[in-house]
Structure 1
Amino acid sequence: MIEQLLKTLGSDWLTIFLSVSFCLTLYFWWSSSSPGKPPPGPTGLPFLGILPEFVRSARSGALIEFCMNMNRKYGRIVMFKSGSQNLVWLGDGKLVTKLFNSEEFALRPIDTLPVLKIISGGSPKGIIFTNGEITER
């Protein structure tokens, strides 16, 4: 079947296809790499990350155990993927307090996760959905 397709399309199409595939692979590889060393964490499934495990734990009532196991395995700062987003889990109350009191955290972008806009009804409320001047109060 492939031989027949190559005869029909010619070798130029194969060259173009392989070149485009190579370029797309390089693009996605470079765009997914970030500067510096990221925090440790589970790799999860392609495109889904650890979302299936997270949902399964939440439904079974074992979400706290799931998070505690991540802390024991990876440390107090854990990075994981949920879809295409990199998320960070902080498993230390003192670290969370320090972070929320820091100047840098006050100006974080709210549009990072579209689901946050949906959950907040488009109008940020609470400590998770606010930033800037509102957070500083």
Structure 2
Amino acid sequence: MADTLTPERRSANMAKIRAKHTKPEMLVRRMVHGMGFRYRLHRKDLPGKPDLVFGPRRKVIFVHGCFWHLHKCRDGRIPASRRDYWEPKLLRNTQRDAQQQAALQAAGWQVLILWECETKDQDALQNRLRDFLQNEK
């Protein structure tokens, strides 16, 4: 089992994972900025501290990692090892996401969830961003 990591190495790998300024988020930010839209980052006064906030438009974007938020793609599955640890942790993330999205919508915000795997097709991503940001509803 050459690909099995020691607990210390696994801990070091996990410690490097960031909540903000991830590669998918940075890609979305550069793309949105290049399209001429301006935004604020991680507003603490909004539920979930959305990754991008378009205040006058009342729109927010979250860029979710497929693993951490249990997307339906192949990367969004609960690990087989230590399932008793991972399952409640990841399910709490999805429950929190749903609550935050509902709170934002109740406050009059439109929410777009982008998944890490969706950032690979940049043409489709740009179209989706443009549709969300330019349309009133």
State the TM bucket, normalised to the shorter chain.
under 0.3
TM-score by length of 2: 0.25
TM-score by length of 1: 0.25
Q: Which has the larger radius of gyration?
A: 1
Higher relative contact order (CA 8 A, sep 6+): 2
